[in-house]
Amino acid sequence: MGLLNIVVKDHRKKHYSRMHDLREEVELLICENINKMNKIEEMYLQSIQSIDRRTEMTELDKDGWSEDRGLYDRLVFEYQEKTGELMQRWKKN
């Protein structure tokens, strides 16, 4: 019976250690992505403000705005995708 208790305790210790590592990974990823999203959102809002100041956009303005919007959308998608993957791994463990 003593050996079984040792095995169970060791298994729990490994499981909790793995959960702790995953929690840290999720928190780090979320912080990194929030910082990236804030920077991209700032760029995106600056683009919108510059567009709002003018009544007509040149083709160059349209291209710049589209690139900023695309970058922002892609970052949001990547954030959601990576967070979703980590949450799935978290649930499995």
The residues, ordered by sequence, that sit 6+ positions from 61 with a Cβ below 8 Å of its Cβ are: 50, 51, 54
Rounded mean pLDDT for each run of 10 residues along the chain, 93 residues in total? 67 77 82 80 73 56 62 73 72 66
- Is the residue at 87 inside a domain? yes
| Whole-angstrom distance, CA of residue 69 vs CA of residue 23 | 31
pLDDT at residue number 3: 65
Task: Provide the domain limits for residue 84.
Answer: 19-92
- Is the residue at 41 inside a domain? yes
- Is the residue at 81 inside a domain? yes
pLDDT at residue number 27: 82
Q: Are 47 and 65 in contact (CB under 8 A)?
A: yes
- Is the residue at 85 inside a domain? yes
pLDDT at residue number 81: 77
| Count of domains observed in the chain | 1
- Is the residue at 46 inside a domain? yes
pLDDT at residue number 69: 65
pLDDT at residue number 73: 72
- Is the residue at 53 inside a domain? yes
- Is the residue at 7 inside a domain? no
